[in-house]
Structure 1
Amino acid sequence: MRPEISVIIPCFNAEIYIPRCIEKLEQQTFKSFEVVIVDDCSSDNSVELLRKIEKKTSLECLIIELNKNSGPGNARNIGIENARGNYVSFCDIDDYYEPDFLKIMYEEIKNQNAEIMMCNSKLLFKDGSERKNSYTEIFDKYKEKEDYLALSRSSLCYLLVKKDLFNNISIPELRNGEDIAVIPLLMLKASKIGHINYSLYTYYVRENSASSKPTKKSFQDLVTCFSIIESMWTDSYSDALEFIGIKTLLYSAVLIGFKANVNLKQIKEQIYCFTIENPNWYKNRYLRTMSKRHSLFLKLVKYKMYLFLNMYAKFHSIVMK
């Protein structure tokens, strides 16, 4: 029998996290789903552990082994190609779903007649402490399609998506930020988008993980992300496109650029190019949704205060506390 939902999980060297992720899937109160795990050429015992679990679990499980490591974007694309569900959701192997994730997301996407459903999340830290990461206050005020495009979450893991939306759209094969590029494109195609006030996804914060370390490659990936979005954007929703650029280039890429000691000339070039195309970006109506620290950073960008931007970046971990 065809499952309603396909849960797609990329896996790379994550043997210590696999049991928890699978256990949480076994606890799901919604049962019409399959699990598609794509191992991205792990060098630890991930595949062996997955094969053992496959024999014991009650889950409908498909395990795909790649013979070359190519990053989570490609792993997810392969998962989507092999998915049989009408809807797809995504989970990172070191994170997990709350027991009602699939049930509530499926009920709401049906009840709201939507093609994409978003939920809130919570952060789980190594010491066991948790912090909710809620967008409810924003989406209580901003409910139009352009609002969702501008203010959407930056992770596919917080979404349930009608699988057909991925027709002619693939996730970029980047090492960082591939979700940033694909989510707005999916939302452009969606007839309706919804959001629910439940923290259903738990993101495990690994402070020393490779993906959390700013690099010159992650700077370039963010630049590429926005280029992909621009190239596939329609003429409408110009405020949303501009705001995506503000978040992706002027904030995230510039911040990572300074953290990773990217050549200042390259950083200035990205700021200059965006400013030439969007001379009034600082008047964008969605800027009011940004936090005070984000707004401060963008003011430094606007006035080209590079010394202070560099200082902000170096002490970012302190500012975030």
Structure 2
Amino acid sequence: MKFSVVIPVFNGESVIERAIESVAEQSFRDFELIVVNDGSTDRTEATVNSVCSNYPLLIWKQVVTSNQGRSHARNLGIKKARGDFICFLDADDTFFQNHLVEFHEATKLFPRISCFFADSNVKTTGAAWNKYTSFLDRLLARGEFYELRNNYVIFSKLLPNFLVEGSLIPMCSTAIKKQALIAIGFFDESYSSSEDFDLWFRLSLQYRFVAIKKSLSTVYHHDNNTSHPSQKSINISKQLQVTRGLIAKSQDFEDPGLTLRLVNKESTLFGELLYHTSCQSFGRLWYLVKSNKSLVSKHKLRTLKSLARALLKRT
């Protein structure tokens, strides 16, 4: 089997039908659908069964597990998969109808590549979101670390250096060899956010990436997204956790410059966290500084700048 599409879902009865239909109606048919129900307490399980039963030719299964987070759900889907390549889709996003056929063509053109991705359209509800419409162009604007070949982008071994700023690889527009995901140790289940950045970064250290210069999915930014701007401090804190985790593994990096880039990112994130926390509450700020003395000591200048910035905003 060529592809396994893995959809993790928790209490997604209102959106899962749209996601499943976008998979079931693919023009390329050599695939299976695995829905991992992450302990939903609403009617998600019944909705999945009902929608999938409308497609007699669809090869599918629903795996029901206790609520352990989306990284665990995706890992479980990978382990259950029979396909050579894994495609991920979040329950509130959708595939274009040509999604799988485009990745199939790419894998034929680049048989030695294990990691593929494409662009994604962004649909936003709510004024809080940045009004981005796609991902790939923003990644390519970071520097010269790729070769263009018709509708494809072949990334060099420098890709990790440019992913440090943020992956800009949309989860719902990827096709990764199952064996590559196994080899790098799956998603890190200790992360509840930015787990995608961690995965793409670790994959890029060992494998080359090719991108299709087309949008093949739609990402929906809405008020219930875990990455919503209103959760800025929480999300920065989680990004900081992932960055520190990668720094801890940096002795294995071939390029020592990567470690410096990650440390600089750690400094930037910590400064942003201090700023946003101080704008909310000096009590929270004091707790943050007290519980992160090593980071305060490590990034003294960034700490002072962030505190000064927050104080100026309050005056």
Deviation at residue 15 of structure 1 after TM alignment: 0.9
Deviation at residue 62 of structure 1 after TM alignment: 1.3
Residue in structure 2 matched with residue 238 of structure 1 by the alignment: 256
Gaps of 5+ in 1: 277-299, 315-321
Which residue, 17, 20, 23 being the options, matches 2:18?
20
Deviation at residue 215 of structure 1 after TM alignment: 6.8
Which residue, 132, 141, 147 being the options, matches 2:144?
141
Which residue, 133, 144, 162 being the options, matches 1:150?
162
* Distance across 2 between alignment mates of 1:201 and 1:253: 33
* Distance across 2 between alignment mates of 1:44 and 1:77: 23
Residue in structure 1 matched with residue 295 of structure 2 by the alignment: 270
Structure 2 CA distance for partners of 1:155 and 1:130, relative to 1, 3 Å: closer
Residue in structure 2 matched with residue 281 of structure 1 by the alignment: none
* Distance across 1 between alignment mates of 2:4 and 2:76: 12
Structure 2 CA distance for partners of 1:5 and 1:176, relative to 1, 3 Å: same
Query: Superposition pairs for residues 208-247 of structure 1, below 5 Å?
Result: 208-212=224-228, 213-214=230-231, 218-233=235-250, 234-247=252-265
Structure 2 CA distance for partners of 1:54 and 1:196, relative to 1, 3 Å: closer
Deviation at residue 307 of structure 1 after TM alignment: 3.3
Using the size of structure 1 for normalisation, the TM-score is 0.76
Gaps of 5+ in 2: 147-155
Q: Confirm or deny: 8 A CA contact 2:275 2:307 kept in the other structure.
A: no
* Distance across 2 between alignment mates of 1:157 and 1:238: 31
Residue in structure 1 matched with residue 215 of structure 2 by the alignment: 199
* Distance across 1 between alignment mates of 2:170 and 2:255: 21
Paired amino acid for 1:92: D
Deviation at residue 255 of structure 1 after TM alignment: 3.2
Q: Confirm or deny: 8 A CA contact 2:247 2:262 kept in the other structure.
A: no
Q: Confirm or deny: 8 A CA contact 1:254 1:267 kept in the other structure.
A: no
State the superposition RMSD in angstroms.
3.0
Deviation at residue 80 of structure 1 after TM alignment: 0.7
Moved more, 236-245 or 202-211: 236-245
Residue in structure 2 matched with residue 9 of structure 1 by the alignment: 7
In the alignment of these two chains, the number of paired residues is: 283
Q: Confirm or deny: 8 A CA contact 2:240 2:269 kept in the other structure.
A: no
Say yes or no: does 1:86 pair with 2:67.
no
* Distance across 1 between alignment mates of 2:118 and 2:157: 16
Q: Confirm or deny: 8 A CA contact 2:70 2:192 kept in the other structure.
A: yes
Paired amino acid for 1:88: I
Moved more, 97-106 or 262-271: 262-271
Structure 2 CA distance for partners of 1:132 and 1:211, relative to 1, 3 Å: closer
* Distance across 2 between alignment mates of 1:28 and 1:140: 34
State percent identity of aligned pairs: 22
Q: Confirm or deny: 8 A CA contact 2:142 2:162 kept in the other structure.
A: no
Q: Confirm or deny: 8 A CA contact 2:136 2:169 kept in the other structure.
A: no
Q: Confirm or deny: 8 A CA contact 2:37 2:73 kept in the other structure.
A: yes
